[in-house]
Structure formats: C-alpha cells, structure tokens
Chains A and B, each alone.
Chain A
Amino acid sequence: MAGKIPESYGENPQRRVRERWVRAFERSAPGRLTLGIGRAIARRFRSVHWNSWAFVAPALLLIGFFLVYPTVMTVIRSFFGRGTTLFGPNVEFVGLTNWKYVFTNEIMLTSLRNNALWAVLFTACTVGFGLTLAVMLDRVKYEKIAKSIIFIPAAISMVGASIIWKFIYAYKPAHLDQIGLLNGIVVALGGEPLGWLIERPWINNFCLIVVGVWIWTGFCMIIFSAAYKNIPRALLEAARIDGASEWRVFRNVILPLLGPTAGVVATTMVVQVLKVFDIVYVMTNGNYSTEVIANRMYKEMFNYNNYGRASAIAVVLLLLIVPFMIVNIRRFVSQEGAR
C-alpha cells in the first residue's frame, strides 16, 4: 500500500527506485484498475464461506457419487439394452423395450401385485399392532420387558429372522413327524401339514409378510409408545370423568392425537416395504409366485446380466416411492418452518 518506505530500504537505492515505480503505478489509472479487479476477486473469494463448505463437502461428495449420480444414470440406462456395463460398444439404445417388459411380463406383474399386497398388509399390521401394543403395554407393570421382547427382531438381521420363520414353516409329509412349529400345531389339532411357503398365491405371500410384520412391529411400537406417553394424562382422565368408556377414549381421544405420528410411521413403513428384498431372497428367492420388485431387479442384474432391464425395474421402484418422498419432504419443510 502506498505509505512510508521502511528505513532499511534507504540503504538500497535500487529498491528505492523500484518502490517509487510501484507507487506511481498504483496511483495511475491502469494500476487502479488492476488493483480494483484484484480486490474484487479477493472479496468474492473471501465471501464464499470456505469453512462452511469444508464441513459439508465430504458428505455431499459421497452422496453425489453414490446416490445422485447413479440415480440419474440408472434412469438413462433403462432405455438401453442388455450388457453389464453402463455404456459401451455392446450396449445399444432400445427405447421403451425394457419398459414394455416391466409392465407386461407375467413375472413382473406378479411382482407388482405382490408388492402391493405387502404394502397394504404389512403397513396396516405393523402400524395397527404397533399402536395397539403401545397402548396395551402402557397399562401393565411388565411393560419394559415385554417391549424388549417384541423389539428384539428389529435388532437381528432379516436373514436371521427368515431362517427362524422358514424353520417354523418347515414341511414334512404327513406320515413323518413334523419339525416346523406351525405344522406341528396343525397336526396336533388333527389337520394335514401344509407346505406353507409353497401354497400359492395367497398363503405363501401371507407367510412372508408375517415375517416382515414380526420384524418391524417393534419399531412402530416404540415410536407409538413415546408419542402415547406424551399425551397429557389429564386429557384421558377428563374424558373418563365425562363418562367415556375405554373404547371411546381410545377412539375419540387417543387415536386423533396419535394421527400425525401414525402418518409418519406409516409412510416410513411403506417406503421400507416397497424395497423388501432380504426376506423374499432368503426364504423363497421369489419362487412360487412370491416374487417382488427388488428381488427381480437383483436377478436381472446378476443372474441374467441385463442391466437395461434391471435399470428399468429400479426406476419403477423409485417411481413407487417418490410420492412418499414428497410427503416426507413436505412434512420436513413444515417442521423446519416452525423452528
């Protein structure tokens, strides 16, 4: 900056001359222009909050690479054909061929039907049981232990759970002793053993859905329990004093107050169940018309090496989930707005 020349410079006449030139330049028109632009750039540089970006950058980069970029590319890939590469010489544009397959092929239609079945039954059961259990357990002393037991399945893997239930559903011909619990009970009651996982198309799907419900109800129950305990006791007591029976209290006070929570839980459950894979993969691998979309996608990708079809199936999964994503975001925005 134009200012005093330090004492030490006095010894070096060359430096002095240079300093004078620099100062003259600074004062001149082109000099001012350069300095102005330089300062403007520096200001822009400084005003970008480098610190802040440094904090979120790693996360954003990972998310960009693993979530955002692939989503876009998968959509594009769905319009191309067989092959196990993203793009390349062997991969040709096939337009809507994969899409036609997805919506007309028999197995695909079965999968879609099954996913719908899962979505409805699974969600209804987990939410319903979760809520009921939360309210019921609140009234007994052994609440904590019961809750733990019901929550255990959420901690073990779906593979483990699948084995547990596959074992329960095990079938042995009628003249042999049964080893599966369900058939054991059936036989003990005088009936014929069933191949539970083979009876198509409803029984085996139900059996699979039971496993899912078994795993996730605990999760719903915990959330409902917390929400339920948040209801001021005084409200329920006021209703009882007013003369309402337990059922009425449940229906007219508890249910409405837990409505929002139920909404959150239900959307979470639906999003989870549309992606169901583990249970079906381990227990039946989609056979006997128990196929689901996620499993189908896996097969197309790894067994049939048809990335095009697999992409299309994946996109279908995304489309099914998008409405719930929107609901999620909307709710999130209103929550943040209240902050």
Chain B
Amino acid sequence: MNLRKTVARTPLHLAILFFVGIWFIPTLGLLITSFRDPSNVAGSGWWTVFPRLFSGGQFSLQNYVGVLRDQGLGLAFRNSLFISIPATAISTFIASFAAFGFAWMRFSGRRVLFMMVVGLMVIPLQMTFIPVLPIYSKLGLAGTFPGIWLAHTAYGLPLTTYLVHNFMAGIPKDLFDSAAIDGASPFKTFSRIVMPISVPALASVFIFQFLWIWNDLIVGLVYLGALPDVAPLTVSIANLVTNRGQDWELLTAAAFVSMALPLAVFFGLQRYFVRGILAGSVKG
C-alpha cells in the first residue's frame, strides 16, 4: 500500500526536484566557479570539478581577494552598507509616523491622502529622475550619501507606509482610549505605546526594505553612478560586467560578494522577511 502511494507520487517528487534543481544549480555553478583557479575557469565548465573534487589544487580564494581589493568591491561593499542602513532606518521611521497618523488620527482628507500615497506605489521611478537631479545639483546633494538616503526613503514610502499602516490599524481601540484617559498626548501614545507594540511588524518592514535598497541598481546609477568612490555594490558590479565581461572568475566572485549579505539576512531572518511580504499582500 505504501509502495503504491510512493510510486504514484513519484511524478510529483520528480517535478518538484526538477524545479528545485533549476533554482539551485545555477547558484551552485556560481559558487563553485568563484572559488576556482582563474586559469581553469575560462577553459572548462565548472561541472568538471566534481570528478576531481577532493584531489586538491582546484580551489583558491584568489578571485575574492582580487575582486575585493583590486576591483574596489571592498569599498563598494562599505558604500552599500552606508547607503542601505541609514536609508532603511529613516524610511521606516518616517513611514511609522505617517502610518500612525493615517491609522489613528483624525483630519480632513485622511482617506483620500492615504489612498493617494498607496496608489503612488506603482509610479515608475523613471518619471522622477529628470526633475529631481538638477535640483539636487543646485543643492549640492548630487552624488552624496544624504542625497540618496532621501531618495530611497521617498521611493520606498508608499509601500512601507502601507505595510506599517496595515499593522497599526489592527491595534485594539481600547488601548488608545485607555491612553487618552491616562493622559497621553498623541505623540506620547505613539512613542510609548504604539511603537513598542509594533516592533515585530517594523522588523519585517525594515528587513524587507533593507534588502530592496541593498539590491537596487537604478537609483544607485542615477544618483551616484558617475562617482566610483560612493558607488554601491550593484553599480560597481554592473560596471565590472561591462568592463571585464569575460573574466568569469571575477564576475562570479563579485556576484557572490553582493549576495552574501542578503543570503545571510534571508536565512537568519526568513521569518520576518516572509511575514513582511505577506502582510501587504494577503489580507487576513
């Protein structure tokens, strides 16, 4: 009986294995190649390492050293951190304020404004570069970190506000009544009660937003692209592809450098990440 079940389910398992394979093998190829000796990479497919896996002499860290030191990705990594963390922090902070205001405060036009904010989620960023850049130049913000912090914050606000609002709107009304009687001003209610309660939701949103900014290419290109000193990882690697397109040992190592942090965050904090996505998409 059990055997029949297993046999009947074999197609299912095979199909799943097929999909999982397609998703996993490419990444595996990247990983292996990044550790291979440069002379081998251009000559043979990465799958050829398997027969001789343990005989030594095939792998080295040379590519990583090259990419981090010689190609300036170490600096780019630092830039990405310096861009992503503050931008995410500011974004989450401002979005929390706005979400609270939209969820619990009364003022005319609240609904319309909120719908507008959320609706702006779909605006293609391309619409926003041309008018903003000249103003940035005049204000001296072009090519600066604060400049891109503001940009990322603004671009991320519609979605972030929507996600945080989803959570805050669900806080029981009693809590606010009680706070009103206890004598808390709106700001105190926000800072002493709502924010501490919102920490799990904010964590999800923070991680989601962080990864989004870390992986972003176009905003980095537009606001920081011309200056290699401040370019984030994505921009630097894209340039590497343009300039050293056939040096796969460098490219794969570079790709992995950019992937390392998100993968670590992903595996370590997967729970929050997924919850963040679901909070916005599937209404409970």
B201 within 8 A of A: no
Contact A181-B255, Cβ < 8 Å, known A66-B132, A223-B278, A227-B282:
no
A314, B19: Cβ atoms closer than 8 Å: no
Chain A residues contacting B29 (CB-CB under 8 Å) are: 164, 167-168, 181
B12, A181: Cβ atoms closer than 8 Å: no
A285 within 8 A of B: yes
| Min CB gap B70→A, angstroms | 18
**Segment 35-65 of A: residues with Cβ below 8 Å from B:** 48-49, 51-56, 58-60, 62-63, 65
B193 within 8 A of A: no
A60, B124: Cβ atoms closer than 8 Å: no
Contact A317-B187, Cβ < 8 Å, known A56-B97, A56-B101, A62-B154:
no
| Min CB gap B259→A, angstroms | 4
CB contact between B113 and one of A48, A60, A317 (< 8 Å): that residue: A60
CB contact between B16 and one of A59, A137, A264 (< 8 Å): that residue: A137
Chain A residues contacting B115 (CB-CB under 8 Å) are: 329, 332-333, 336
Residue of B nearest to A143 (CB): B16
Classify the secondary structure of B's interface with A: helix
B258, A62: Cβ atoms closer than 8 Å: no
A317, B106: Cβ atoms closer than 8 Å: no
Query: Complex: how many Å from CA A54 to CA B251?
Result: 48
| Min CB gap A331→B, angstroms | 10
B88-127 Cβ-contact flags toward A at 8 Å (1 or 0): 0000001101101110011100110101011111111111
A131-151 Cβ-contact flags toward B at 8 Å (1 or 0): 001001101100000101111
CB contact between B262 and one of A156, A184, A281, A314 (< 8 Å): that residue: A156
Contact A181-B47, Cβ < 8 Å, known A160-B258, A214-B23, A328-B122:
yes
Residue of B nearest to A139 (CB): B12
Chain A residues contacting B26 (CB-CB under 8 Å) are: 164-165, 167-168, 181, 214
Contact A71-B128, Cβ < 8 Å, known A59-B97, A164-B30, A298-B221:
yes
B134 within 8 A of A: yes
Chain B residues contacting A227 (CB-CB under 8 Å) are: 282
Contact A73-B130, Cβ < 8 Å, known A49-B106, A149-B20, A152-B23:
yes
B258, A157: Cβ atoms closer than 8 Å: yes
Partner-contacting stretch, out of A3-11, A94-102, A318-326: A318-326
CB contact between A164 and one of B27, B44, B47, B151 (< 8 Å): that residue: B27
Chain A residues contacting B41 (CB-CB under 8 Å) are: 179
B190, A157: Cβ atoms closer than 8 Å: no
CB contact between B94 and one of A62, A129, A261 (< 8 Å): that residue: A62
Chain B residues contacting A324 (CB-CB under 8 Å) are: 122
Chain B residues contacting A54 (CB-CB under 8 Å) are: 101
Chain A residues contacting B211 (CB-CB under 8 Å) are: 155
B1 within 8 A of A: no
**Segment 1-16 of B: residues with Cβ below 8 Å from A:** 9, 12-13, 15-16
A179, B46: Cβ atoms closer than 8 Å: yes
B59 within 8 A of A: no
Q: Which of B12, B26, B122: most chain A Cβ within 10 A?
A: B122
B274 within 8 A of A: yes
Interface size on B, residues (CB 8 A): 104
Chain B residues contacting A148 (CB-CB under 8 Å) are: 267, 270
Classify the secondary structure of A's interface with B: helix
Contact A325-B119, Cβ < 8 Å, known A149-B23, A155-B263, A179-B42:
yes
B127, A317: Cβ atoms closer than 8 Å: yes
Query: Complex: how many Å from CA A50 to CA B281?
Result: 32
| Min CB gap B132→A, angstroms | 5
A51, B186: Cβ atoms closer than 8 Å: yes
Query: Complex: how many Å from CA A85 to CA B153?
Result: 24
A159, B263: Cβ atoms closer than 8 Å: no
A19 within 8 A of B: no
Residue of A nearest to B95 (CB): A59
| Min CB gap B6→A, angstroms | 12
Query: Complex: how many Å from CA A110 to CA B15?
Result: 36
A219 within 8 A of B: yes
**Segment 298-339 of A: residues with Cβ below 8 Å from B:** 298, 301-302, 307, 310-311, 313-315, 317-318, 321, 324-325, 328-329, 332-333, 335-336, 339
**Segment 235-291 of A: residues with Cβ below 8 Å from B:** 261, 264-265, 268, 271, 274-275, 277-278, 281-282, 285
Residue of A nearest to B46 (CB): A179
B25 within 8 A of A: yes
Residue of A nearest to B217 (CB): A278
Residue of B nearest to A278 (CB): B217
Chain B residues contacting A86 (CB-CB under 8 Å) are: 130-131, 134-135
Ordered by A's residue number, 15 sampled pairs between the chains whose C-beta atoms are within 8 Å are A53-B107, A55-B98, A59-B94, A62-B154, A70-B128, A70-B129, A73-B131, A86-B135, A157-B262, A167-B252, A168-B26, A227-B282, A314-B129, A328-B122, A329-B118
Apart from A58-B97, A163-B241, A294-B126, what are 9 other A-B pairs with CB-CB below 8 Å?
A: A62-B157, A149-B24, A155-B215, A157-B217, A167-B30, A168-B26, A181-B47, A298-B218, A321-B124
Would you list the 10 A-B pairs with minimal beta carbon distance, nearest first?
A55-B101, A66-B154, A157-B215, A59-B98, A52-B105, A73-B131, A70-B128, A56-B101, A52-B107, A163-B255
